[in-house]
Structure 1
């Protein structure tokens, strides 16, 4: 039986090449010294080369036009691999690239790909791992957006985030009007802005615990690095069963919309490195129910400094599941000033907007159509076919 370890886990490049795409590695350095890796999807028929000087163009009917830029951002404890699982039909980024968009996949600081810093070592430095969602919003998000616009030659892009990828964007856009002006559409898949009240004892106990206890339990660097050892030791089938059991106990998720075959494809990509502090930040926000800044001290004494999400005025599309009990979406929709599309899939849980077997039919076509309609380079009457 084949191991679920790293040797059996395909890289982002391998996942793309398996369906006829290739990847360009792009490096963008944040103001605080992290080297972020973005993966640009290259379609087999692209003729413009890879010189990075605004050549993101598509040749169709002998007409050259700039290809609309799209930046996709993964969720908590994930990396760009999570956005590539399942091939052209089941991976939104691959679908959009095949449709003619200039697609970039982001990687948050500290994960498997964005694992370098100009001065600090992830192996020996506690300071390397001293970051939370605040730093993802303040540094990573604008750095990636600016890099994509520079390389693609565009003035605006479409930002698509899943879960944490939405949280860092909402925080970044609410804090920086100039940044959100660079976004012609923000697609929020399972937006993690407002958390529902928790009922499970273990997770609730961790959320309420003193930060010193959490640091004692998990350390001050990477969160659960032993997960990679578990993958190496377990068969894929047993690893899938373990993940199913964990998410059922912690979040009451059934994962019924993801088939057994698909779980074998996607679950090996469910974990990538993230800081313990970042997870603690999520604990604080789950306790308060708000998208707010990190604060030292126990959750019971936590007075959140909240990001004003109502200031996000760029066009926003919300996609969420009716059975997603982790986040509360309806009140978010009410306070956002410019919601252009809201898609609720009644059977979907949190992961399903990205990984459900049926997302290719229920979610992805609507997102693709909306991106075409909202793109400023295609005209007010709807986009042209490139």
Structure 2
């Protein structure tokens, strides 16, 4: 997808981080869906970085009024706290790179543009094989829960170009892998209880009902510190915490049994949100 004014070879096209996605893109996306659909509320389903930016967006420091538009927040592999994988190679080799050093090595456009060339010109099965090996090395994934015949399709249609600056936000100096959390752990409270008011003396809505889906073999993110934080510091209503025994980071949609393991439960969460909005 292009841009109305910027070309893809312009660094400004790629000049965004998770902070920008949380404060600008997600609110615009939700408002667009509400406007086009005619509905006042929607269910948010996000995986990993997708729900990570939503947690940021709904926090008191960003766009807490967005909670008014969400009837259910469904987080697959919630990316709030970093898992043990971020303390090993290659993260340790790049986590001290400031933006100038990062830009010199990886550029300031899309991250590793060779991936786009490989996607466009490599036969799909070869691309899937190489893609799997690369991501298995980087993220300690396995295909134990996948159907092998689907692997080529999954790696053929999932990769997309991302901003080098956004990857720096995750993996570079003072980023997610360095701090270990997407939000400021020094804060007494991240999310609204429904009792606060903003600078205009307007009531801030309570954080929406939350469902967490967690793979017990996920090494990229940790859920236990998040649950402890929600218990000791927050007043978030936890609708569900569902553990996928032996599940890894992407098994909620790539797993051979994903439909039976979590799809029906997700539909239940959506339905509960709809009923509570009546």
C-alpha contact 1:372 1:378 (8 A) present in aligned 2: no
- Cα distance in 2, alignment partners of residues 282 and 292 from structure 1: 12
- Cα distance in 1, alignment partners of residues 98 and 188 from structure 2: 23
C-alpha contact 1:326 1:350 (8 A) present in aligned 2: yes
C-alpha contact 1:318 1:342 (8 A) present in aligned 2: yes
Taking structure 1 as reference, are residues 248 and 199 closer, same or farther at Cα in structure 2, changes over 3 Å only? farther
C-alpha contact 1:137 1:168 (8 A) present in aligned 2: yes
- Cα distance in 1, alignment partners of residues 237 and 276 from structure 2: 20
Query: Are residue 331 (structure 1) and residue 219 (structure 2) matched?
Result: no
Query: Are residue 320 (structure 1) and residue 219 (structure 2) matched?
Result: no
Pairing partner for 1:240 from 128, 131, 156: 128
Deviation at 1:257, TM superposition (A): 1.1
Q: 2:178: which partner in 1?
A: 287
C-alpha contact 2:64 2:191 (8 A) present in aligned 1: no
- Cα distance in 2, alignment partners of residues 170 and 237 from structure 1: 36
Q: 2:198: which partner in 1?
A: none
Q: 2:266: which partner in 1?
A: 367
Pairing partner for 1:205 from 72, 84, 93: 93
Q: 2:200: which partner in 1?
A: none
TM-score, normalization by structure 1: 0.62
Q: 1:11: which partner in 2?
A: none
SS in 2 for 1:363: helix
Pairing partner for 2:81 from 194, 201, 206: 194
Q: 2:39: which partner in 1?
A: 154
Deviation at 1:266, TM superposition (A): 1.0
Where do 5+ consecutive residues of structure 2 fail to align? 193-205, 231-235
Write the deviation string for residues 322-364 of structure 1: whole angstroms up to 9, x where unpaired: 0001001122123332110111101111111121111111000
Taking structure 1 as reference, are residues 143 and 307 closer, same or farther at Cα in structure 2, changes over 3 Å only? farther
Write the deviation string for residues 74-123 of structure 1: whole angstroms up to 9, x where unpaired: xxxxxxxxxxxxxxxxxxxxxxxxxxxxxxxxxxxxxxx3x314x33222
Taking structure 1 as reference, are residues 171 and 218 closer, same or farther at Cα in structure 2, changes over 3 Å only? same
SS in 2 for 1:208: coil
Deviation at 1:376, TM superposition (A): 3.9
Taking structure 1 as reference, are residues 334 and 291 closer, same or farther at Cα in structure 2, changes over 3 Å only? same
Compare relative contact order (CA 8 Å, sep 6+) and give the higher one, 1 or 2.
2
Query: Are residue 259 (structure 1) and residue 153 (structure 2) matched?
Result: no
SS in 1 for 2:243: strand
Pairing partner for 1:183 from 70, 73, 77: 70
Query: Are residue 163 (structure 1) and residue 48 (structure 2) matched?
Result: yes
Where do 5+ consecutive residues of structure 1 fail to align? 1-112, 294-303, 380-386
- Cα distance in 1, alignment partners of residues 115 and 224 from structure 2: 34
Q: What's the Cα RMSD here?
A: 2.2
TM-score, normalization by structure 2: 0.84
Deviation at 1:305, TM superposition (A): 8.7
Q: 2:195: which partner in 1?
A: none
Count of aligned residue pairs for this structure pair: 254
Summarize the alignment of residues 4-83 of structure 1 with structure 2, pairs less than 5 Å apart.
none
SS in 2 for 1:271: coil
SS in 2 for 1:357: coil
C-alpha contact 2:191 2:207 (8 A) present in aligned 1: yes
Runs of 4+ in 1 over 6 A off after TM superposition: 304-307
- Cα distance in 1, alignment partners of residues 219 and 8 from structure 2: 34
C-alpha contact 2:129 2:152 (8 A) present in aligned 1: no
Q: Normalized per residue, which structure has more helix?
A: 2
